Amino acid sequence: MGNDTNEHALAEASLGTQSSGGTKKKIMWLKKATAIEKANAPERLRYSRYYEHDGALRAYANRAMVFSFISLLTTLLAIGMAAFVRLQPPTVIRVDSSGMAATVSNQLGPNSPKSTAQAKDDASEFERQAFARLFLQRYLNFTPDAVHQCWADALNMMTANLRQSTLSAIEKKNIIAKIQDEQITSVFHLRSLEPVKGDPLSFAVFGVKEVRRVREHQETTDKLVGEFRVRLITEKRTEENPSGLLVGEYEERLIDGEHRDITARPTSLDNLK
């Protein structure tokens, strides 16, 4: 009986020793090794374990995937912004005669109605003055040989109804035949061209028109000082009419006239006594 009790006590003592030893080994296994312990450890223990390499590779792959998605989203955003900017209409800046700059609104569509003030602003002041000056030069300057071309160019600058009435008057009075028979030449000297106050499309013009005729080998010259009124209208700019202007009304009023026969000046021999 006493021997059995001793054996049982020794078995319990040995189990307690083994359990305490296993616990110590487990604690030592979970404890992080210091730098000195790593340096003193065998060489094969210095290598990292395979699952550490696999985890590092997976971390690098995940990081590259995140960067790829960020780069993709940034690229798509940049492409969308570039397309949006490219599809926007260009900014048009209009500078008026006084030097003031203003941005032209692009909200009006091609078929949107425009007000009268906006329609008048389609052509600048310089374009209107140049158009009126060109019309007067073509209509009032002609020779017997070039009268057809000069007046054809001037008539093409008129509206349809004004062109028709002018052609009817020319044909009724047979003016072209008269110009060619009498060899009439007209030279117009423009003195002033100013817009009418309150109507930027109407102009008051003052000038001198020299009309030369040849009858029976004798030349006569008429100097006619006149006032001319030219009223323009605007239409849509086209390839045939890039300025978008037409002459809607033309009036001529004689202010003063001088008739003179061309004679030869006395030579130096006529003055000798």
Whole-number percent of the chain with pLDDT over 90: 29
188-to-134, 203, 225, 228 alpha-carbon distances in Å: 12, 17, 10, 12
Question: Contact at 8 Å (CB) between 173 and 265?
Answer: no
Above 50 in pLDDT, residue 116? Answer: no
Using pLDDT thresholds of 50, 70 and 90, give the confidence band for residue 237. Answer: confident
67-89: pLDDT as tens digits: 999 999 999 999 999 998 888 88
State residue 258's pLDDT score: 60
pTM confidence score: 0.52
Separation CA 247–CA 158 (nearest Å): 4
Domain extent listing, the chain: 2-47, 116-261
19-to-23, 25, 68 alpha-carbon distances in Å: 6, 10, 53
State residue 15's pLDDT score: 46
Separation CA 2–CA 207 (nearest Å): 154
Using pLDDT thresholds of 50, 70 and 90, give the confidence band for residue 55. Answer: confident
As assigned by CATH, the class of the 116-261 domain is: alpha beta
Question: How remote is the C-alpha of 113 from its chain's centroid?
Answer: 21
Give 78-97 as a DSSP string. HHHHHHHHHHSPPP-EEE-T
Question: Contact at 8 Å (CB) between 190 and 207?
Answer: yes
Tokens of 271: 């003055």
State residue 229's pLDDT score: 93
Separation CA 161–CA 150 (nearest Å): 19
66-to-61, 69, 78, 111 alpha-carbon distances in Å: 9, 5, 19, 50
For residues 45-58, give the mean pLDDT: 68
Question: Contact at 8 Å (CB) between 230 and 249?
Answer: yes
Indicate the range of 10-14, 55-59, 164-168, 264-268 predicted with least confidence. 264-268
Above 90 in pLDDT, residue 247? Answer: yes
Using pLDDT thresholds of 50, 70 and 90, give the confidence band for residue 119. Answer: very low
